[in-house]
A and B are shown apart, each in its own frame.
Chain A
């Protein structure tokens, strides 16, 4: 019989005969489920944060900030510079021919006592601020009136701070009132308050904008815009895609989340790996008579070893499905409140695929030595001892 046929026969026997090894199979599946569950739930945190940043800006949205300190919190773009920036080439136009660009400011205030002590961000936007954010929609109340001390609160922020329409937020110059609740597709803006830029700047005594947000006619015009801005000696500004900006500012935290996931994943995997070697050794021992019989009737070593590995991979995949499925049930969509914002954990398809790959790799490593042992089992010794 051809080697591949021998392999198919042995694999079929293995997979259909799992009932004989139900206990060990369950232990492997549960072990892999724990590993993938831990990995998926910790990676889901990072994936959720990145999803929030991805939702914040498509590739054609660009933030223009001071070159020296590129942060939207640093008010360094003078009002006199805004007109020049909005005249830059390649910027998209709105339905009335207006340039899709908006000078904005962002700073933090503390919510009223009792809500939380975590500072909440206030984003001051201008006339085109809403047009630039196509996911923006008012879900309750009304829009703020420029010139009045009025604010909107994002739906994510509202769920954490518990603020409602009519609540006051104390800022310099008195109380500002929350007049509406908005959603912007779960992006960064939804984590805070929004008000009219010129009104908050006047109230807070801020004389410059933090950034100018613009939309490009098409994403490929980013580099020409950037060159146009940085080669203008009077400007001293730089440009960054909005999604890149948030990934950059959160880089250290994202790095920590990544490290945390793989560090705890690695430790728990060491445990699972040692356990799986133990179990596959026991499986090979319990099947030594069966393996020796096959070898005695002419089956080659390779299909015998492959059958052990295939069983391991099947169990790993079952474990990965159980673990990632459990993580999805428990954590997908669960709200996280961290220093980087308010976002929902995401047990996404890439996370699940990574977990499945991780589990399969572990089982391949765990079953390699027992598979080799099975392939090299001396037939006569095995038949005699059994």
Chain B
């Protein structure tokens, strides 16, 4: 307790310097929170990818492209080892908003995605009316949507613009396999109302298999079945797909981590400089404390605590600011900023920030502690 009183007094000896240092660490940790938040979201998606599921995509995309016939699902189901087949299509909005995230699924998804965070009752709600959508928690927050809300989405295609009116049936937990939030709609809506070439089409089949060890073999079997059809397929195990995406984006991930690291590296020197100056100016005070019986370990603790204050405060405030930014509804942000924000700030990011702040405090105390160690009490008290 005595130590805390001394640290507190030391910090407020020069309030402006303490606040400026804390401000600098806050900015660095805000950046850290934003970048690590994005990195964490990518990694969570990779780790959540199921080894017993496969994506089936069109092998090529002739223009204009409307998708694969949904009737292919029945053919895929007959491939040995396939457990269930779900189909996905999407509605792309011509305006920014929830329309960017709407994926229309068919009833097959209920069985092909048994891991989806959707209860049987919510599945039933989704398929009860064509206009139903299920919105994940983060996107509901982002777009300020709740059960019962309706929102229009206008698409703009060569075939003409179409306006779809969706109704939120339920807010569901995040799907760890989905990454940046999801809005699932009912494929029947598209089949009933879209321009004719777009009806009964799927962009992706999401299938589950009985044995994860046979994922590659089953992928090849599906592709062989459609090799000479008008719609050849390209099948890839979900796990392999996510790994490929992460490895292709490794440069971007490197940039994210590099930016986060550069911010911390910068404040490391700022904090170290502030603490070194404080220790230098207070050498007589340390000498007196030592004379009064404060052990060296206790003096060291004082210095480390003094360094830790702006670091931990900056980590908490900076990460909180990043978190607050992520809760702002997307429509109130610029489109580019909304892309930069992870859907939520997980507790992992906060834990990383606190750990980084403690490491920062320890590293920035090294030089001041060495200086303190080399100081002779008698010399300082004598003013030498």
Contact = CB atoms under 8 A, between A and B. Distances in A.
B30 to A, nearest CB: 6
Interface in A11-41: 23-24, 26-27, 30-31, 34-35, 37-38, 41
A274 B63 CA distance: 54
Main SS of the interface on chain B? helix
Interface in B5-45: 16-17, 20-21, 23-28, 30-31, 34-35
A41 B59 contact: no
Given A34-B265, A260-B336, A42 B255 contact: yes
Interface string A158-189: 00000000000011100000000000000000
Contacts of B336: 255-256, 259-260, 263
Main SS of the interface on chain A? helix
Report the interface size class on chain B: 35 or more
A259 B340 contact: yes
Interface string B49-78: 000000001011111100000000000000
Contacts of A259: 334, 336-337, 340
Interface string B276-289: 11000000000000
A136 interface: no
Given A30-B269, A37-B262, A119 B61 contact: yes
A42 B35 CA distance: 13
B24 A275 contact: yes
B349 to A, nearest CB: 16
B258 A75 contact: no
Contact of A278 (B21, B28, B266): B21
Given A116-B244, A210-B63, A272-B266, 19 more contacts: A34-B265, A68-B158, A74-B63, A75-B63, A107-B61, A107-B63, A113-B234, A170-B59, A172-B60, A256-B336, A263-B337, A267-B263, A268-B259, A271-B25, A272-B24, A275-B24, A281-B17, A334-B251, A336-B251
26 contacts: A23-B273, A27-B273, A31-B269, A31-B270, A35-B266, A38-B258, A38-B262, A38-B263, A41-B259, A69-B158, A108-B61, A117-B240, A119-B61, A205-B62, A206-B62, A259-B336, A264-B34, A268-B28, A268-B262, A270-B27, A271-B24, A271-B267, A275-B266, A275-B267, A278-B17, A278-B20
Interface of A: 23-24, 26-27, 30-31, 34-35, 37-38, 41-42, 45, 68-69, 73-75, 107-110, 113, 116-119, 170-172, 204-206, 210, 255-256, 259-260, 263-264, 267-268, 270-272, 274-275, 277-279, 281-282, 334-338
Interface of B: 16-17, 20-21, 23-28, 30-31, 34-35, 57, 59-64, 158, 219-220, 223, 227, 232, 234, 236, 240-241, 244-245, 248-249, 251-252, 255, 258-259, 262-263, 265-267, 269-270, 272-274, 276-277, 334, 336-337, 339-340
